[in-house]
Amino acid sequence: MIPFRKNLIDGEWVGDAGSRNINPSNLDDVVGEYASGDAEQARQAIAAAKAAFPAWSRSGLLARHAVLRKASDEITARKDEIGRALAREEGKTLVEGIGETVRAAQIFDFFAGETLRLSGELVPSVRPGVGVEITREAVGVVGIITPWNFP
């Protein structure tokens, strides 16, 4: 049986219509069938992200670190499984698939560490005795279309 994967939107798995992903190195190997999101599902995902934004933007540094670190740890724990799936999906060698998976885990780990570095800048003021501090704050939801061939 070919696995069917749905989209996770606001804690719910949704999507019925999909497309097959076939191993380009073996056209008889159907990796899976994946739901294709439509405009309505995109609106639902955006609404869910906007609803989650206030709590996430108020979360502390350690909470953000924990989320990103857990993602890194989970990817690392499943690197062989994910690497095999990538090799099948993209026609890459197993070594390349596992290497890409390890790199994805490293990226999550790096940005987990970045959450713990207090950011901001002190810049000179034109007025004596006055300090200027620049602090960056989250401003809202961002939509991103990521490359399909790298985790």
pLDDT given for residue 150 in this prediction = 58
Instruction: Show Cβ contacts of residue 95 under 8 Å, excluding neighbours closer than 6 positions.
Output: none
CA distance 107 to 119: 19
pLDDT given for residue 98 in this prediction = 97
Q: What is the pLDDT of residues 75-93, one digit of tens each?
A: 999 999 999 999 999 888 9
Whether 17 has a pLDDT exceeding 60, the answer reads: yes
pLDDT given for residue 51 in this prediction = 96
The model's pTM is: 0.79
- Does one domain contain both 134 and 71? yes
pLDDT given for residue 3 in this prediction = 82
Per the structure, the complete domain to which residue 50 belongs is given by 1-58
Dihedral over Cα of 75, 80, 84, 86: its sign: positive
pLDDT given for residue 135 in this prediction = 83
- Residue with more model confidence, 67 or 1: 67
- Does one domain contain both 42 and 70? no
- Does one domain contain both 36 and 80? no
- Residue with more model confidence, 66 or 144: 66
- Does one domain contain both 25 and 53? yes
Residue 32 counted as domain residue: yes
pLDDT given for residue 148 in this prediction = 64
- Could you please report the per-residue DSSP string of the chain? ---EE-EEETTEEE---EEEEE-TT-TT-EEEEEE---HHHHHHHHHHHHHHHHHHHHS-HHHHHHHHHHHHHHHHHTHHHHHHHHHHHH---HHHHHHHHHHHHHHHHHHHHHHTS---EEE--SSTT--EEE-------------TT--
Both structure tokens of 63: 């909470």
- Does one domain contain both 132 and 96? yes
Residue 150 counted as domain residue: no
- Does one domain contain both 64 and 131? yes
pLDDT given for residue 33 in this prediction = 92
Q: What is the pLDDT of residues 30-76, one digit of tens each?
A: 999 999 888 899 999 999 999 999 999 889 899 999 999 999 999 99
- Does one domain contain both 69 and 125? yes
- Does one domain contain both 12 and 42? yes
- Does one domain contain both 11 and 53? yes
- Does one domain contain both 52 and 76? no
Domain count, the chain: 2
- Does one domain contain both 10 and 76? no
